[in-house]
């Protein structure tokens, strides 16, 4: 496995720094309720999407026994470790935020899963090479931060043989304007949103065997068969 993340463009560097800094805060969405009621309220929609995305991935991938899976932008390893627990033969999680990878490694140890079954790599998912293709790939909550989603998919899809699931934030949601402004002004972290028509045009141009879009609160979840 090799990776080359030194030539990353500025938006990607800002996104990496952002997730490095807020790793625990994001990962806590899977665990505890936020402390203040204002924060609880603002997190509620994000949490609904995060939970629905999680359910959809496991619904769409079905039996993981013996499968190999690439988790792109794996964050704190919630998907990857669960996949290992569900019998996947090999899961590789890639994330360019080092604190996320540290959380993922800690979760794997806590759950008693071996590194031979679930491993984590710190690097850019589009720039990391692997020795073998994977049955399945996922990129959940990642394309929100990728300027060229189509280019990203063109690079990663050849690494996947059977099915890829990825989420895309919806353009027309009441949450979109505040999220976009908040991230741009206070985090210097650009976000990218998708109308269904734009997403259909991207998926339709990829030469996939089949694809389907599922709604998931403030996200679309695309299931692709390369």
Q: What six digits make up the tokens of 92?
A: 């590789």
Please report whether residue 78 would count as binding ligand SAM according to CB under 6 A.
Answer: yes
Taking CB under 6 A as the criterion, the residue among 56, 64, 91, 94 binding ligand SAM is 94
Please report whether residue 142 would count as binding ligand SAM according to CB under 6 A.
Answer: yes
* Shorter beta-carbon distance to ligand SAM: residue 124 or 135: 124
Please report whether residue 100 would count as binding ligand SAM according to CB under 6 A.
Answer: yes
Contacts of 170 (CB under 8 A, 6+ apart): 176, 193, 194, 195, 196, 215, 218, 219, 220
Taking CB under 6 A as the criterion, the residue among 97, 103, 121, 202 binding ligand SAM is 97
Please report whether residue 74 would count as binding ligand SAM according to CB under 6 A.
Answer: yes
Judged by CB under 6 A, the chain residues 164 through 203 that form the site for ligand SAM are: none
> Alpha-carbon distance 31 to 162, whole Å?
31
Taking CB under 6 A as the criterion, the residue among 49, 90, 95, 221 binding ligand SAM is 95
Distances from the Cα of 6 to the Cα of 9, 96, 124, 128, 140, angstroms: 9, 11, 9, 12, 23
Stretch that binds ligand SAM, among 13-21, 39-47, 112-120, 177-185 (CB under 6 A): 13-21
Q: Say how many C-beta atoms besides its own lie within 10 A of residue 21's C-beta.
A: 13
> Alpha-carbon distance 25 to 97, whole Å?
13
Binding site for ligand SAM (CB under 6 A): 15-16, 19, 26, 73-75, 78, 94-97, 100, 124-126, 140-142, 145-146
């Amino acid at each position: 496995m090799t990776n080359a993340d030194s030539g990353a463009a500025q938006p990607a560097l800002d996104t990496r720094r952002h997730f490095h800094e807020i790793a625990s805060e994001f990962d806590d969405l899977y665990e505890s309720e936020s402390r203040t009621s204002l924060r609880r309220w603002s997190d509620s929609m994000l949490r609904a999407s995060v939970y629905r995305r999680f359910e959809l991935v496991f619904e769409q991938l079905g039996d993981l026994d013996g499968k190999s899976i690439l988790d792109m932008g794996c964050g704190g390893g919630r998907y990857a470790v669960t996949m290992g627990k569900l019998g996947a033969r090999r899961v590789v999680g890639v994330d360019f935020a080092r604190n996320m990878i540290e959380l993922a490694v800690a979760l794997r140890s806590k759950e008693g899963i071996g590194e031979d079954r679930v491993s984590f790599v710190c690097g850019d998912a589009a720039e990391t090479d692997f020795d073998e293709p994977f049955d399945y790939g996922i990129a959940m909550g990642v394309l929100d931060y990728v300027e060229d989603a189509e280019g990203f998919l063109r690079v990663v899809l050849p690494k996947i043989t059977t099915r890829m699931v990825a989420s895309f934030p919806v353009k027309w949601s009441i949450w979109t304007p505040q999220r976009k402004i908040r991230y741009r002004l206070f985090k210097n972290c650009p976000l990218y949103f998708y109308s269904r028509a734009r997403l259909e045009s991207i998926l339709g141009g990829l030469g996939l065997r089949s694809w389907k879009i599922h709604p998931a609160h403030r996200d679309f979840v695309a299931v692709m068969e390369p």
